[in-house]
Structure 1
Amino acid sequence: MKSKKKNTQTRPARPRWKWLYILFSVGCLGWLVARTGRKPSRFSYPCQQAAALHSAWLIPAAGLLLARSVRSTRVRQALSAVLMVAMLAFLAVGLGGDPPAVAVGESAGDLARSRAVASSMTPAAWNGGQADGNHDIAVVNHVPAPSGGPHHSGVDALVHLLAEGGVHFFRSDADAFCAAPDGIIAPDDVVLLKVNAAFSERGMTNTDVVKGLIAAVLEHPGGFTGEVVVVENCEGGPDYTHQYNNADNIYQSLEAVVDSFGDPSRVSSSSWWSFTDNMVGEFDTGDYNQGYVWVGNNVSYPKFATGRGTCISLKNGIWNGSSYDKSRMKLINVPVLKSHNSTGITACLKNFMGVPSIHRTTNVHPDLVYSGFMGRMMNQVIYPDLNVLDAIWVSPSHPQGPSGPYSLAVRTNILLAGVDPVALDYYAGRNILYPVSGYGRHDPDTPFSESTNPYHDGTRNFGYPYNALRIMLDATAGVLQQGGHDVTSDPSRMNVRVRDLSRGLGWSGGHCVSGVREPSSEWQFAEGTTRNGFEEWLTLENPQEETANAHLAFMTGEGETFDLEMALPPGSRGTVHVNRVVGQGRDVSCSVTSDKPVVAERPMYFSYGTGWRGGHDVAGAAEPAETWYFAEGYTGPGFEQYVCVLNPGDGPASLTFRFQTEEEGEIVRAGQSVPARTRSTFKINDLLGANYQNSLVLESDRPVVAERALYFDYLGKGDHHWDGGHCVMGAPALSREYFFAEGTTRDGFEEWLTFQNPNPSPLSVTATYQLGEGQGDPVTRTYTVGAGKRYTVFAADEVGAGKDVSVKLSAPDEFLAERSVYFKYQGFGANWPDGHCVIGVPERYDECYFAEGYTGGGFQEWLCLQNPGDTDSTVEVTYYTEEEGALQPRYITVPARTRVTVRVNDNAGPNLQLSCRLRVTSGPKVVVERPMYFDYW
């Protein structure tokens, strides 16, 4: 018997990695089916094409295996041939996209270049020559990363910037800067946030921005009782539950954002995709099913229920069971900015593709580009109340857009908003995406219009002209205009305001005033405005032991007067928001009278022109005068100088302006006047002319009050571009001696002194610079000021850098001196450019007062005390607060011949609205100034 030997050799194991590509192909096929869904147009997207390329062989391969089971040879051969042809066609589509021709051409986008551009991008700002305010654009850049709470500083700053241009986010009578009776969102509105959730990663709306918008709405200054609903038709696949999202925390989905507010009756979402195939009737027909109502010509719209159960028809509004109310339904369009291989860009217009049921549309992209489809949607269904364009991350690469993978996204940290979606798309393409990408199809002003494949720059054509963006903008604008909507892509009709958040979220800067020698029963202010971009306040200090009853009269340039009565308790401070008293859009002066002596200041905060931000503050004039003096003034590039004159009398006042210039000596401008009980504003750049360093003697035939406001983009010694503004009350008389307590030559500060000599003879001015403790002995200098001229000194040239400086000035004849300081204040983590200016104090005092003061968030208040004497001084400081009344006195020692700086936030305590009184209890008299630095919000 033959023995059977066991074969001990084993067949070599097949490497398992050979199965990986098969599994990968199966995964690609599954992803292709899920992501394309029932929207065939998505098959042209690059990600779909890549998936098709790797999975195309599976279907015919499966078919060939099936064919093997067919017994008939002829049938088997025919079936195999058909399947092979199908595979080749499938591969062609997978390789090429929409028409076969698009297999030609290259991609566009140098990622390294794009990221370099984005890191240093400064969005363009301008005032359009034909702008009427209806097409204005608000832009915030250097948006910081979210802090972790629901609020988003970029959203909050954007809402504030919109209000500066007259677009108020909130509809309310509340005393809040971003609210107005004609604002957008009322307390009981249903607010729909139309997001872009059709793609994941950076291809969707930033969920941090969405959370910030929801938080802003919920904190409505009038109290919010309505609803916020996130809405979208993602056209297939997940919408609010993406695994990878556009956020700092990439796992924060839109669903997670909605859930984080914890109350679906206040914040909910509606997935229009979930009922995109349900064709339904309106509520008033008795149909309460969620679904789409068909209008025709590709137009349809959703009707649905919110988390509270509110019935919403997007076309007709809120259904209450018997009628519709569209006035309480607001739509905020919240797209993400990115490239699109067909339309050029995705932004405000393209985001409306997530409103209709795409399954009911035909030739949707040609309709979108050539026939204004989105315009028809907005005309026939709903026009957005506001557009907030997310450009925190942009996806600039062609042809990958409209997908936005993390690997191809660029962080620009920009948000934009406006009521005109066409203007916003034009601006975003031209000034954000195009500079980042360098790709001409993102530029609505491209001169190229060919339809060749590839385009002139070698990039791939997906079936639309190179200038498809311009064609879409023009077509949509035409349709919207036919529907009564005033839209434009003409930049001359746009004002663009840009806010750089790296220097603060609000109006950052600083102001400074010298102490007031004594309270008075009358105070006058010539300057003041409540125009867009200006917030005016009045602060009153009552240091008396009895209640002071004050009467405030606000006088406009049109002769109107607004009166306000105010009772000030003993030892207190009171605050008046002038915008609230007189309304928006008025130039106002103010007269304060009181039955007890009080102290009054007028702080103003602003965003001037194209975005020169800051604030200024003056103490009032105790009485009108016929002559006013100003030592500082400049009409050169980057400076805009004004003189505001209040005439409180009963007859017109005739004015003569006598300018003392460094360039030409005295120049006289006569023939100006101010009507009775009004104020007038004179722009000195026009009255005097350009490029003059000037001082001014203002003469009037009647007693008037005069202030000089100066707004600037200060270049200084280092091409700084420190923008802002300062203001001083004129001096009604000259002196032979002046003191300045504040001043510094530290890094980030540039200090100047200006001397005015209106006399017929030259004048010798002696300056003694007193330095901070431990910074050295006083420095003495002498300057000669020509007759009828002004003279300028740069303080750092006299004492060196890094010094705290107080100054004493003296001369044998009368003159005037001012000290202006331009800065980027960086104390305690700030980064706030601006400038402040004061006229010198003609004598030291043993007691002085400040009506204004605040130690709350975003404000840093200081007291600078100068002791020119030969012995130490002790100064008592009493703070009068709105919150706690009078605080216990504090005591400060000021060494001889030096100056001391006190931080009021520490000395008085935080979060106080306060005035103060300073009194020398021992030693020589002192001089005191109060600088304040702020991010006004």
Structure 2
Amino acid sequence: MLFKGAFIKLLLQMRGELRRLCHSPFVIGLLSLLWFILRTGTKPSRINYPCQRAALANIHLWLTIYIMPLIYPLIHLVQKSLRSRRFLPILVIAIIIGGALTFWGVYEMMRMKEMREISLKIEERLAMFEPCSSIFVVTGTRGNDDGIFRLIDLMGDHGLLFYKSHEYGRNKGPSGLIGRDDVVIIKVNSQWDERGGTNTDLVKALIEAILNHPDGFVGEIVVADNGQAQYGSGGFGGSFSWLRNNAENISQSIQSVVDFFANKGYKVSTYLWDQITTKRVSEYFEGDMEDGYIVNTTRNPRTGIMVSYPKFRTAFGTYISFKYGVWDPETRTYHSERLKVINFPVLKTHSIYGVTACVKHYMGVVSDKLTARLGARAHDTVDDGGMGTEMVETRFPTLNIIDAIW
């Protein structure tokens, strides 16, 4: 009993010491500094987060109380070193280290200034000519918030309904885009990692929005792309499993997002068309059930492109022709109206075209290798409008969403 009492007393004393330690300004300031460095990482825009601003206040107080008082003794040490040559090497080393740290700090400040977020003021305007596109802009979103849902609401407020339904509502109605039993291809950027790929937080939010169909979603979602099995961050084309991704949590890949929903029983899968980009096949109605690419060897007289597109079987056994739609092997018919394509590029720079977005994004639909072998490489037709021809002659996007987050 005496041992038990002493042990409890010791625990109470330790608890008190830990409480005092946790409330220590020195500990709070030091932990705030470590948190600020680790949390901000390579994305300076996170400095604007409320938690980061609070950490900065703690760091400022910590520097004022514990670091600034050391400046005078340091100056005194320098003066003493100047009087004695014995301390000269130490002084030189200190100057070199201090100079390097100062240079690094200035460089980081300049880099952070260059990388700061740019606020765009978007004004509503009406097009002067027809036909025209309806463009909806959502600002102030980071992807892992309600940005996609705000976009859907904004569309609905202007008559473009996201959900196809017999019932009428803010975002639903008979003229809606996505039906409860549709097969939806979400076409993303996968050839490059980090900022070269579509924001995976946005992809996750979009999948969630589709699955939240007000009539109950019973269809299927396929996240797809063709990185052309060439070039890209790894030199081998596209990947849905990059280690560094465009997201608040850079480890969150496209594949991990899809697996998150698939593990909950939803029909959500990926298909990397790189795997079939060199395999030429025929259409389902011609008796060819193999996955691969259809190529029209007749070059378009205006843009020069040989139109090509994938046909494939999803992880859940659905047969899809990108051009003709969902194939029913029993009735041997296509259901074109059930296949919806959401074109989801990331806005990024390009070494040839400057900036690329929705139209150039269809380079991830064609087969660059097959068309190159046939003498009409698809990429060479981008300048002449080849991707526009590809859209018109295969399947026009049901909806274009541009990821312009950084």
Same fold (TM over 0.5): yes
Distance of aligned partners of 1:145 and 1:187 in 2 relative to their CA distance in 1, 3 Å threshold: closer
Instruction: Trace 1:723-762 onto structure 2 (pairs within 5 A).
Output: none
* 1:349 equivalent in structure 2: 359
CA displacement, residues 516-555 of structure 1 (integer Å, 9 cap, x when unaligned): xxxxxxxxxxxxxxxxxxxxxxxxxxxxxxxxxxxxxxxx
Q: Take 1:123 and 1:260, find their aligned partners in 2: how far apart are those partners?
A: 36
Q: Take 1:247 and 1:213, find their aligned partners in 2: how far apart are those partners?
A: 14
* 1:226 equivalent in structure 2: 219
Matching residue within 326, 334, 337 for 2:347 = 337
Match status 1:241 vs 2:234: no
Match status 1:323 vs 2:333: yes
Deviation at 1:145, TM superposition (A): 5.7
Instruction: Trace 1:208-227 onto structure 2 (pairs within 5 A).
Output: 208-227=201-220
* 2:197 equivalent in structure 1: 204
* 2:382 equivalent in structure 1: 368
8 Å CA contact 2:143–2:202 kept in 1: the answer is no
CA displacement, residues 388-418 of structure 1 (integer Å, 9 cap, x when unaligned): 10011xxxxxxxxxxxxxxxxxx2xxxxxxx
Q: Take 2:388 and 2:210, find their aligned partners in 1: how far apart are those partners?
A: 27
Q: Take 1:299 and 1:129, find their aligned partners in 2: how far apart are those partners?
A: 31
Deviation at 1:307, TM superposition (A): 2.2
Match status 1:386 vs 2:396: no
* 2:122 equivalent in structure 1: 124
Instruction: Trace 1:694-713 onto structure 2 (pairs within 5 A).
Output: none
8 Å CA contact 1:336–1:389 kept in 2: the answer is yes
**Residue type at the aligned position of 1:305:** R
Matching residue within 139, 145, 153 for 2:146 = 153
Q: Take 1:141 and 1:250, find their aligned partners in 2: how far apart are those partners?
A: 22
8 Å CA contact 1:264–1:307 kept in 2: the answer is no
Match status 1:312 vs 2:320: yes
**Residue type at the aligned position of 1:350:** K
Distance of aligned partners of 1:144 and 1:375 in 2 relative to their CA distance in 1, 3 Å threshold: closer
Distance of aligned partners of 1:263 and 1:356 in 2 relative to their CA distance in 1, 3 Å threshold: farther
Regions of 4+ moved over 4 Å = 110-114, 131-134
* 1:294 equivalent in structure 2: 295
**Residue type at the aligned position of 1:140:** V
8 Å CA contact 1:172–1:179 kept in 2: the answer is yes
Instruction: Trace 1:833-848 onto structure 2 (pairs within 5 A).
Output: none
8 Å CA contact 1:265–1:307 kept in 2: the answer is no
CA displacement, residues 426-482 of structure 1 (integer Å, 9 cap, x when unaligned): xxxxxxxxxxxxxxxxxxxxxxxxxxxxxxxxxxxxxxxxxxxxxxxxxxxxxxxxx
Deviation at 1:234, TM superposition (A): 1.2
Distance of aligned partners of 1:254 and 1:390 in 2 relative to their CA distance in 1, 3 Å threshold: same
| Runs of 5+ consecutive residues of structure 2 not aligned to the other structure | 1-109, 230-235, 300-305
Q: Take 1:254 and 1:264, find their aligned partners in 2: how far apart are those partners?
A: 17
CA displacement, residues 102-123 of structure 1 (integer Å, 9 cap, x when unaligned): xxxxxxxx9656534x34x133
CA displacement, residues 767-799 of structure 1 (integer Å, 9 cap, x when unaligned): xxxxxxxxxxxxxxxxxxxxxxxxxxxxxxxxx
**Residue type at the aligned position of 1:386:** L
* 1:138 equivalent in structure 2: 136
Q: Take 1:132 and 1:172, find their aligned partners in 2: how far apart are those partners?
A: 29
Q: Take 2:352 and 2:264, find their aligned partners in 1: how far apart are those partners?
A: 40
Deviation at 1:164, TM superposition (A): 1.7
Q: Take 2:317 and 2:247, find their aligned partners in 1: how far apart are those partners?
A: 29
**Residue type at the aligned position of 1:239:** S
8 Å CA contact 1:335–1:348 kept in 2: the answer is yes
Deviation at 1:245, TM superposition (A): 0.8
| TM-score normalised according to structure 2 size | 0.65
Distance of aligned partners of 1:318 and 1:203 in 2 relative to their CA distance in 1, 3 Å threshold: same
**Residue type at the aligned position of 2:363:** M
Deviation at 1:326, TM superposition (A): 0.6
**Residue type at the aligned position of 1:383:** F
Structure with greater helix share of residues: 2
8 Å CA contact 2:143–2:205 kept in 1: the answer is no
Matching residue within 158, 162, 172 for 2:165 = 172
8 Å CA contact 1:268–1:307 kept in 2: the answer is yes
8 Å CA contact 2:349–2:355 kept in 1: the answer is yes
Which structure has more relative contact order (CA 8 Å, sep 6+)? It is 2
8 Å CA contact 2:181–2:218 kept in 1: the answer is yes
Q: Take 2:319 and 2:362, find their aligned partners in 1: how far apart are those partners?
A: 21
1:159 aligns to what SS in structure 2?
A: helix
Aligned residues: 276
**Residue type at the aligned position of 1:199:** W
8 Å CA contact 1:200–1:244 kept in 2: the answer is yes
* 1:115 equivalent in structure 2: 115
Matching residue within 180, 184, 188 for 2:177 = 184
8 Å CA contact 2:367–2:378 kept in 1: the answer is no
Match status 1:303 vs 2:311: yes
8 Å CA contact 2:368–2:377 kept in 1: the answer is no
* 1:274 equivalent in structure 2: 275
Deviation at 1:363, TM superposition (A): 4.5
Q: Which one has the largest radius of gyration?
A: 1
Structure with greater strand share of residues: 1
Q: Take 2:111 and 2:255, find their aligned partners in 1: how far apart are those partners?
A: 31
8 Å CA contact 1:187–1:226 kept in 2: the answer is yes
Match status 1:377 vs 2:390: yes
Instruction: Trace 1:243-262 onto structure 2 (pairs within 5 A).
Output: 243-261=243-261, 262=263
Distance of aligned partners of 1:208 and 1:179 in 2 relative to their CA distance in 1, 3 Å threshold: same
**Residue type at the aligned position of 1:182:** S
**Residue type at the aligned position of 1:339:** T
Deviation at 1:265, TM superposition (A): 5.9
CA displacement, residues 730-766 of structure 1 (integer Å, 9 cap, x when unaligned): xxxxxxxxxxxxxxxxxxxxxxxxxxxxxxxxxxxxx
| Runs of 5+ consecutive residues of structure 1 not aligned to the other structure | 1-109, 147-151, 393-410, 412-937
Deviation at 1:129, TM superposition (A): 5.4
| TM-score normalised according to structure 1 size | 0.29
Deviation at 1:136, TM superposition (A): 1.5
Deviation at 1:353, TM superposition (A): 0.2
**Residue type at the aligned position of 2:348:** K
CA displacement, residues 262-315 of structure 1 (integer Å, 9 cap, x when unaligned): 257610111111111111111111111100011133211100012221100001
Distance of aligned partners of 1:134 and 1:205 in 2 relative to their CA distance in 1, 3 Å threshold: same
Instruction: Trace 1:812-827 onto structure 2 (pairs within 5 A).
Output: none
Instruction: Trace 1:436-447 onto structure 2 (pairs within 5 A).
Output: none
8 Å CA contact 1:136–1:165 kept in 2: the answer is no
* 1:567 equivalent in structure 2: none
8 Å CA contact 1:133–1:165 kept in 2: the answer is no
Q: Take 1:134 and 1:268, find their aligned partners in 2: how far apart are those partners?
A: 34
Q: Take 1:368 and 1:114, find their aligned partners in 2: how far apart are those partners?
A: 31
Deviation at 1:190, TM superposition (A): 0.2
How high is the sequence identity, in percent, across the aligned residues?
A: 39
